[in-house]
Amino acid sequence: MAIDPRQLGPTQLCQLLNSTPLGEVITERQLHRHRTRAGLAVGEGRRVDLYRYIAWLMRLRHAAPKPEGLAGYDALKEQARARNAHLSLSGRDIGELPEVVDAERKTQAADSFRFFCEAYYYSARSGPRAS
């Protein structure tokens, strides 16, 4: 019995496509969704034209991408994400740094960790050291 690729039933088409070394590539449910979406572009009635089906799949695959506009829940999620990002950035603004009071002390503290600790940390905790 010869198979006519232009007059295949859905089950025959699935069997034919799934008979390759790739294994299962389509289910009857997927084929049904494709046929519903393609309308008469892939066949008439209960028959599917394999060549027209392949052409439809190729057009679908290589069609220009649609602009991704978010709607519904996805749009709400994106708005919340943008709002939270804005709040996070605005919360990081700590203002301007104060002027350096003693430039010589700052330079010396940059060169010596011990001096830094004695000049800034110790004096901040218990006042200036008695020497």
Name the H helices within the chain.
Answer: 10-18, 28-38, 50-62, 73-91, 103-111, 113-116, 123-126
- The span from the CA of 32 to the CA of 41, in Å, is 13
Claim: this prediction has a pTM higher than 0.75: no
Task: Report the share of the chain in percent with pLDDT over 70.
Answer: 87
Backbone angles phi, psi at 8, to 5 degrees: -100, 140
Q: Which of 38-42, 68-72, 95-99 has the lowest mean pLDDT?
A: 68-72
* pLDDT tens per residue across span 45-74: 899 999 999 999 999 888 866 656 667 888
Task: Report the share of the chain in percent with pLDDT over 90.
Answer: 40
- Domains of the chain, residue spans: 1-88, 101-131
Q: ∠ at Cα 109 (106, 112), nearest 5°?
A: 160
